[in-house]
Structure 1
């Protein structure tokens, strides 16, 4: 299971409108994406963070994923697992780190400016011949709620026409599509304050194989406090276990 497959804990704190307010805006967004994939030829995933549903639109790039539906499909998740299963595990991990960085980046941007930003990266993905091929991945938020919370997210998949060159990894970027400003993502600076100093101490000891009872004794805190820190760490890093937490924190340069 990929280490950042659940951003629900982050999204759950966003300010979301009532279902009636969302319905009209969602229908408008669906119509927009139906037209967009016809122009862009991409596969698009529109994720509704409020209802935990996604709508998948298949342009001509759908043949890469063996997707041929003329109509959009609906899944009960904000994660397109059918596509994730085709992505190289290392690239999927890095892609989710980029999304976590993007989410935290947008939290310091005014709601009206957030929609001007997008991510861009390249990811190795299995083609119809079961061979890894670099494709283009982009993501952005299409709509905020009326109260300024992040609401409708879009992921786009398409052919990568640029030459890969000597660039390592997924070559993740955050781009201001209005001004053209590019933020190369290699330090995850917007995630630097995700963990408190105490949570970092606990996670370092976890990484060394120290059990909770011994962590409590070393840090002179109660076992309940250690367990609470452990749970907070998992939620903040959007992972499901301590091994994934250590790996993610090290990748984000938090330890």
Structure 2
């Protein structure tokens, strides 16, 4: 699912560049990450948001995920499901909230500065012994299109070398890698306006188990309008279903 399909045009996935130009830039990004993972000994996922493809690179940290550590592989998705299924469900959910906050934070940043920011957090993932172990996760946008839209996203996974106390948070941060400034992203203040008042009304009713037909009668709107709002909610929250949407909205303090 495209989680940001309804955002304003100047901040949407961009595919307007000619294919030759995009391929040249993509090749540059692939070559860069091939060298980077060798220096960082990490696992990197390069996601092409326009073509819905990902390129997965692995050096020595690939053994943590029991990956082939030679070259890179390509998948037809921007979500690295084989990695996601190894991450603790609670941490995966919190990381999802962090990414929503990060993306909406970037909407407030001038386009020329958006690539200066990244996220950092620690998450529990299953190692080769099938035991949960804290690892380091970072993400950022590597390239944008000539139209200014965010295009190539990168997720990095590696060992967490600093000691981590047992907490109920991934301690997600948004960092300006150019200035060194950072802040914890646990208040989700940049997501406060993510849903409209009507969408919140409908999601509250959904959370109470009210079906679309009944919602339409209660709010005096057509069932087609209810269904359109439901779809918009799922896309904005990047949720697979209504249950996930309610959980995400509650965690973001939207309801």
Partner of 2:252: 252
Partner of 2:154: 154
1:216 corresponds to 2:212: no
Q: Is the 8 A contact 2:59 2:69 kept in 1?
A: no
Q: Is the 8 A contact 1:44 1:56 kept in 2?
A: yes
Q: Is the 8 A contact 1:143 1:151 kept in 2?
A: yes
> Deviation per CA, 1:109-140, whole angstroms, max 9, x where unpaired?
12221111000001110001100000000000
Partner of 2:233: 233
**Structure 2: gaps (5+ residues):** none
Partner of 1:51: 51
Partner of 2:203: 203
> Deviation per CA, 1:42-86, whole angstroms, max 9, x where unpaired?
001111111111111111111101113311111111111111110
Q: Is the 8 A contact 1:52 1:78 kept in 2?
A: yes
Question: In structure 1, what is the Cα distance between the partners aligned to 2:61 and 2:29?
Answer: 20
CA 10–20 in structure 1, closer or farther in 2 if over 3 Å, else same: farther
1:14 corresponds to 2:13: yes
Mapping of residues 1-255 of structure 1, within 5 Å:
7=3, 9=5, 13-16=12-15, 17-165=17-165, 167-255=167-255
Q: Is the 8 A contact 1:111 1:144 kept in 2?
A: no
Question: In structure 2, what is the Cα distance between the partners aligned to 1:166 and 1:244?
Answer: 26
Instruction: Give the CA RMSD over aligned residues.
Output: 1.6
Question: In structure 1, what is the Cα distance between the partners aligned to 2:67 and 2:41?
Answer: 13
CA 85–6 in structure 1, closer or farther in 2 if over 3 Å, else same: farther
TM-score (norm 2): 0.93
Q: Is the 8 A contact 2:122 2:172 kept in 1?
A: yes
- Which segment drifts farther, 208-217 or 30-39? 208-217
Question: How many residue pairs get matched?
Answer: 251
Q: Is the 8 A contact 1:98 1:172 kept in 2?
A: yes
**Structure 1: gaps (5+ residues):** none
TM-score (norm 1): 0.93
> Deviation per CA, 1:171-190, whole angstroms, max 9, x where unpaired?
11100011111120111111
Question: In structure 1, what is the Cα distance between the partners aligned to 2:146 and 2:46?
Answer: 18
CA 240–37 in structure 1, closer or farther in 2 if over 3 Å, else same: same
Deviation at 1:151, TM superposition (A): 0.6
